[in-house]
Structure 1
C-alpha cells in the first residue's frame, strides 16, 4: 500500500491518497478527517500509526506502507 499527501491550494484543504500495490485508489480523504475512510477500508485500528506517518510525510512524496 502507498500513501501520497497532496497539498491543497487556497480554500482547498490538504488530502491523502491511499493506493494499493497496483496503484489503484483505495481511499482519498482530508488530512484532518481520516476516521470513516480508514474504517471503510479496514484500517481503522491502524489510524494512529498511519496519521503519524502522514504528519511527517512531505507533500507530493510517495511512501510505501508496510502493514
Structure 2
C-alpha cells in the first residue's frame, strides 16, 4: 500500500491518498477526517498508525507502507 499526502490550496484542504500495489486508489480523505474512509477500506484498526505516518510525511512524497 502507498500513501501520498497532497497539499491543499486556498479553500481546498490537505488530502491523503491510499493506493494499492497496482496504484489503484483505495481511499481519498482529508487529513483531519480519516475515520470513515479508513473504515470503508477495512483499516480502522490501523488508523492511529497510519495517521502518525501521515503527520511526518512531507507533502507530495509517496511512501510505501507494509500493512
Q: TM range, normalised to the smaller chain?
A: over 0.9
1:1-67 to 2 correspondences below 5 Å: 1-67=1-67
- TM-score normalised to the size of structure 2? 0.99
Q: Which runs of 5+ in 2 are unaligned?
A: none
Distance in 2 between residues matched to 1:48 and 1:24, nearest whole Å: 23
Q: Number of matched residues?
A: 67
Q: Which runs of 5+ in 1 are unaligned?
A: none
- TM-score normalised to the size of structure 1? 0.99
Return structure 1 stretches of 4+ with deviation > 6 angstroms.
none
Q: CA RMSD in A?
A: 0.3
